[in-house]
Amino acid sequence: MANVTDRRVGKRTRGERDSIRVEHSLETMFDIVYTAKMAEGIKAGTLRNYRTNWKFFLEYLDMRGITHDIRNVTTDLVREYIVWMLNDKVRFDGHKYKPDEAKTVGLTPVTVNTRIGTLKTMFKFLYDEEKIDINPFAPIKTVEEDTPEIQVLTVEEIRVLLGVPNQRSYAGFRDYVLMTLLFDAMLRIQEALSLKVSDINVETSMVTVRAENAKNRNQRTVPIQKRTLNLLLELIKENDEFDSDYIFLANYGDQLTQSNFRNKLHRYAKHAGITKRIHPHLFRHTAATMFLEAGGDLRHLQMLLGHKDFRMVIRYTHLSKTSLKSQHEMYSPLNQVLKPLNKSRKIKR
């Protein structure tokens, strides 16, 4: 018997069969969810988020020395992961192009909620499909986020920014048209960059955002000003030499990318002396705010922005202090209380 014991020393003890380990591996579970989401037609950007945030979670497990077995994922472990991201994770750690001053400790609540939100969606799917018996993410609450005041551009800043691109050049004119469209139609940047010539209705001055390019996969038609329409038609004519159905193109004929336009926009803002953080979505947010301040109603704004949920419109837009002050002056309850007291009094016969 002693000899048998000696032969076991230093050797791995066989436990579960390999097929059982594979069945419970996190990699296998990811493949199940990813394939299902692809079959649902989920947009490529969302699929990238699934893969990226899953990778972050596996890296944390590796750091802790935890095997990639879904049975090891508990609610306590998820909470520990959240605390680590908030307090210990170094932003841009290992990123060779980020300066050291950008590599601060602790991710923002918004970033943490984004990473956890993806995992919650995936684990809920696995639970609903009966791939797992318990959903460890079910009790997890959203991390409280600060609500910073959202900046929008002023009318003068919009004018100055639109005046920067050199419209004598193809790229400058294209960027001017794109900025005008983003501001007029309140489109998301990818919706604008995905527009094709066939999406423009000259008779009605409307543009169609096709379902495959809309964030919520709902097709919508958005009106544009006649001036914006004429600019689009002029740009389409400029594109005649390119073999492309898209309207916004790089100067070598390929579809313009978000990163390309973002870089150009940063340079335009710097040239204009605008110190606010400029990004394409700021046109949409500024336009929505100005629409409300000019007397537009929330229901029509909801249709223009393409939001299903009315609450999203209220959360998405913010009214400026000037508008808030004006509304308060007009509708303050104190006006009704003081109204009788402000009537002119009869002093003499």
**216/296 same-domain check:** yes
How many angstroms separate the CA atoms of 53 and 30, rounded?
11
Q: Is there a domain that residue 298 lies in?
A: yes
In percent, how much of the chain has pLDDT > 90? Answer: 62
How many angstroms separate the CA atoms of 8 and 113, rounded?
48
**119/170 same-domain check:** no
**110/47 same-domain check:** yes
Helix (H, G, I), strand (E, B) or coil at 340: helix
Q: Is there a domain that residue 317 lies in?
A: yes
DSSP per position, 177-246: HHHHHHHHH---HHHHHT-BGGGEETTTTEEEE-GGGSTTS--EEEE--HHHHHHHHHHHHHGGGS--SB
- Number of domains making up the chain: 2
Here the CATH number for the domain that contains residue 89 is 1.10.150.130
Tally of CA atoms within 13 A in the half-sphere of 31 that contains its CB: 7
The answer to whether 115 and 56 are in contact (CB under 8 A) is yes
Whether residue 20 is predicted with pLDDT greater than 50 in this model: the reply is: no
Of residues 77, 147, 75, 145, the one with CA closest to residue 111: 145
Which span out of 8-17, 164-173, 218-227 was modeled with the highest average pLDDT?
164-173
Secondary structure of 100-117 as H, E, C letters: HHHCCECCCHHHHHHHHH
Here the CATH number for the domain that contains residue 185 is 1.10.443.10
**122/231 same-domain check:** no
Tens of pLDDT along 111-147? 999 999 999 999 999 999 999 999 999 999 999 987 6
Where residue 327 falls among pLDDT bands split at 50, 70, 90? Answer: confident
| 23 Cβ contact partners less than 8 Å away, ≥ 6 residues apart | none
Range of the domain at 22: 17-128
**192/282 same-domain check:** yes
pLDDT of residue 291: 87
Q: Which two tokens mark 123?
A: 């684990």
How many angstroms separate the CA atoms of 196 and 180, rounded?
17
pLDDT of residue 151: 80
Tens of pLDDT along 48-86? 999 999 999 999 999 999 999 999 999 999 999 999 999
Q: What is the DSSP letter of 99?
A: -
Where residue 102 falls among pLDDT bands split at 50, 70, 90? Answer: low
Q: With DSSP H G I counted as helix, E B as strand and the rest as coil, what are the percentages for the chain, rounded to 5? A: 60, 5, 35
Whether residue 208 is predicted with pLDDT greater than 90 in this model: the reply is: yes
Q: Is there a domain that residue 295 lies in?
A: yes
Contacts 24+ apart (CB under 8 A), 74-78: 74/136, 75/136, 75/137, 75/138, 75/139, 75/140, 77/136, 78/116, 78/119, 78/136, 78/137, 78/140
Q: Is there a domain that residue 201 lies in?
A: yes
Q: Which two tokens mark 87?
A: 């307090």
Q: Cβ–Cβ contacts within 10 Å for residue 7, how many? A: 9
Phi, psi of 69 (to 5 degrees): -115, 130
pLDDT of residue 165: 96
Span 18-38, mean pLDDT?
84
Helix (H, G, I), strand (E, B) or coil at 90: strand
Whether residue 314 is predicted with pLDDT greater than 60 in this model: the reply is: yes
Whether residue 274 is predicted with pLDDT greater than 60 in this model: the reply is: yes
Look at the pTM and tell me if it is higher than 0.85: no
pLDDT of residue 147: 63
206, 210, 291, 298 from 302: Cα distances, Å: 17, 17, 11, 6
Where residue 342 falls among pLDDT bands split at 50, 70, 90? Answer: low
Span 328-337, mean pLDDT?
77
How many angstroms separate the CA atoms of 150 and 286, rounded?
10
Q: Is there a domain that residue 148 lies in?
A: no
Of residues 106, 110, 74, 114, the one with CA closest to residue 87: 106
**42/169 same-domain check:** no
Q: Is there a domain that residue 337 lies in?
A: no
**105/183 same-domain check:** no
Tens of pLDDT along 217-259? 788 999 999 999 999 999 999 999 999 999 999 999 999 999 9
pLDDT of residue 155: 92
pLDDT of residue 294: 81
Average model confidence (pLDDT) for the chain?
86
How many angstroms separate the CA atoms of 180 and 158, rounded?
10
**122/169 same-domain check:** no
In the sheet with 206-209, reading across from the earlier edge strand, the strands are 200-201, 206-209, 220-223
